[in-house]
Amino acid sequence: MKNSILLAISLLMLSCVQENINSDDSKIENNITPGEYRFERVYGETPDGYPLPLTGKPITKQTVIVKNTEGLTKEYPEYFTPDEELGSEEMRITCMGSGNPPVRMGQAGSSWLVQLGNGENFIFDVGGGSVLNLWSMGIPMAELDKLFVTHTHLDHVGGIFPLYDAMGWARNTPLRVWGASGYNQSLGISAFCKNIEEASNWHSTSKKGIVPSGGMRIEANEFDYSLFSKENPRQLIYNENGVKIYAFPVDHLLQGAVGYRIEWNGLSFVYTGDSVPTSFEAEQSKGVDVFAHEMFIDAPTFAEKNSMPLPVAENVVSAHTPPSKLGEIFSIAKPTLGVGTHYFTNDDTVDPAFKGLRSTYEGPVVIGQDLLVINVTRDQIVCRMAMTDKLMWAPPAKSSDGNQEMEDVTSEGRTPSFVTETRLN
């Protein structure tokens, strides 16, 4: 009896699936598109009236900031979807990871994607889990080959393996990585990249002759941290095609930690990775359109939520920026939009963040969450959430496919014959 009911249910489900596959327009019939699975939570607000995390709204009360009252205002769809075109004069900044260690399903490790109207893309940090968000944006992987690392804490670089693995026909050119030198050679970005390549040796060797290996290289672009000084607070470390990227030191434990400022077409974005608040970083971020800076919960809450001793929580918190201090940073830098990110963005942490920020700063602020989209033009800044496809296929590259030549298959070290002889043909 039980079996026959199960069989009936299975047949019913199978017929439903077949109906959908055969249908010309199954999406409409179901009234569900893959992207709609993105927001699993029903919209709700905190006691102070801010949108709750993961409900499809940016966590702010000001989603549109007008820069130029006589300028053009552009209307955007309610949600960003990957098929949306970027205006040729616009900058689009998307949060690929807003979280902390430990990585959570609702918040990947730190990462930001900056897309420019000239077709170029720049990735800033690649924390664990962030590549899932990145691939869901439907951008050809070959066009995601420029990574700028603020520092090599694992919550900022833990996603480098899946980014590096965009091989085969996806990206046949090296992954280009920028970062600072360290106090000694082993602490710099060149050593980090070499170690990633070496750790991937089994992976790369096994695929020789199967797929092109041009993508399994990392081109490290290390800039000299020792050149920074009071008189030389920033270095121009990227200057191509009208895009300028400056690096400047931030106060985060060791030499080598930097923030970045990208400028193009009169539009700008600063991202500072991790830091205790300094007026130095605020000065380097003055007048920027969008300033994404870390923000940390208070030590007692951190200790309680993470089940850790209070003195340890206090040590960690002291290396970061509380919301009230972030407000002070924003008061000096005066960004058009401030972003508090790298935060434990939970239902009960949103109001305390804004209380802290508002004690020292009154300007527009949004709290970072994964897939927050910020469109920047000369006239306005607009915040929305992206609705992306969790099962996105990688689209073909628009530009060069790079080197598709195959290397010779490695004959040494292959699976032994006593195993291969038993293949089921």
Smallest separation, CB 274 to Zn ion (Å): 3
The residue type found at 273 is G
Residues numbered 47 to 86 that lie near Zn ion (CB under 5 A) are: none
**Nearer Cβ to Zn ion, position 92 or 153?**
153
Residue among 127 and 174 whose Cβ is closer to Zn ion: 127
DSSP, collapsed to helix, strand or coil, labels residue 158 as coil
Q: Tell the smallest beta-carbon distance from residue 343 to Zn ion (Å).
A: 11
Choice between 222 and 274, CB closer to Zn ion: 274
> By C-beta, is 142 or 149 nearer to Zn ion?
149
Q: How far is the CB of 251 from Zn ion (least distance, A)?
A: 11
Which lies closer to Zn ion via its Cβ, residue 155 or residue 165? 155
CA distance 348 to 339: 18
Q: Which residue in 182, 346, 178 sits closest to 271, CA to CA? A: 178
Under rule CB under 5 A, residue 289 binds Zn ion = no
Task: Quote the tokens at residue 282.
Answer: 């605020």
Asked if residue 115 lies in contact with residue 264, where contact means CB atoms within 8 angstroms, the answer is no
281 binds Zn ion (CB under 5 A): no
Distance of alpha carbon 102 from alpha carbon 129, whole angstroms = 11
Opening angle at CA 381, ends 119 and 43, nearest 5: 105
Give the residue with the Cβ less far from Zn ion, 154 or 210.
154
| Options 182-190, 211-219, 273-281, 373-381: segment touching Zn ion (CB under 5 A) | 273-281
Options 114-122, 268-276, 343-351, 379-387: segment touching Zn ion (CB under 5 A): 268-276
Tokens representing residue 283 in the block:
């000065």
Are 144 and 392 spatial neighbours (Cβ–Cβ below 8 Å)? no
Q: Of 134-142, 201-209, 228-236, 269-277, which segment contacts Zn ion by CB under 5 A?
A: 269-277
Cis bond before residue 309 (omega within 30° of 0): no
Question: For Zn ion, which is the closer residue by CB, 35 or 273?
Answer: 273
Shortest Å distance, C-beta 250 to Zn ion = 10
**126 to 165: interface string for Zn ion, x by CB under 5 A:** ---------------------------x-x----------
Helix (H) or strand (E) holding 318, with range, is: helix 310-318
Kindly tell me which of 91 and 257 has the beta carbon lying closer to Zn ion. 257
Among 125, 165, 263, 274, binds Zn ion (CB under 5 A): 274
Query: Shortest gap between Cβ of 425 and Zn ion (angstroms)?
Result: 51
Reading the block at residue 246, the tokens are 């400056």
Question: Cα–Cα distance between 425 and 44 in angstroms, integer?
Answer: 56
Contact region with Zn ion (CB under 5 A), list: 5-13, 271-279, 285-293, 347-355: 271-279
**Least CB distance from residue 100 to Zn ion, whole Å?**
6
Distances (CA, A) of 12 to 21, 28, 32, 390: 14, 20, 20, 26
CB 152 to Zn ion: min, Å: 9
Structure tokens at 372: 């927050």
Angle (nearest 5°) at CA 381 between 380 and 382: 120
Q: Does 328 bind Zn ion (CB under 5 A)?
A: no
Q: Which among 246, 244, 248 has a CA at the least distance from the CA of 229? A: 248
Identify which of residues 139 and 147 has a Cβ nearer to Zn ion in the complex: 147
Note whether 125 binds Zn ion by CB under 5 A: no
d(CA 137, CA 373): 11
Site residues (vs Zn ion, CB under 5 A): 153, 155, 274
